[in-house]
Amino acid sequence: MTLPPRGGATFRPRFTLTILYFFAFLLLFCSAIALPPLTEVLRSTPPGPEQQAIAREAARRAVAPRLPIAALASLVATGIGIYARVLPGFRGAR
């Protein structure tokens, strides 16, 4: 005896995907902010442990004051991606 097929709800982790997309965009924007100072450190400092310490400090100084802007930009990018149905996982019917 077989059970009739169910037409019930399917699992769609929209909240989890939203959080993942937000943090992915945040990482992308923070990386874009930190890239110019890190490139400058790479060009001006010889390789070694001191270069790593200088690079860490340069990245922190570049990203820390702009972190709220990057968070707001990732929130906007996630919202636009969901609204325009561009992000995978949100392409179905609303």
Rounded distance, CA 27 to CA 35, Å? 12
Residue 76 lies inside a defined structural domain of this protein: yes
pTM higher than the cut 0.85: no
Q: Is residue 5 part of a domain?
A: no
Q: What digits encode the pLDDT tens for the residues 27-61?
A: 999 999 999 999 999 999 999 999 999 999 999 99
**Per residue in 16-25, pLDDT tens?**
999 999 999 9
Domain that holds residue 60: 20-83
pLDDT of residue 74: 98
DSSP secondary structure code for residue 47 in this structure: S
Please report whether residue 15 resides in a domain.
no
Please state the domain count of the chain.
1
Question: Would 63 be classed as within a structural domain?
Answer: yes
Four-point Cα dihedral 86, 88, 91, 94, nearest 10: -100
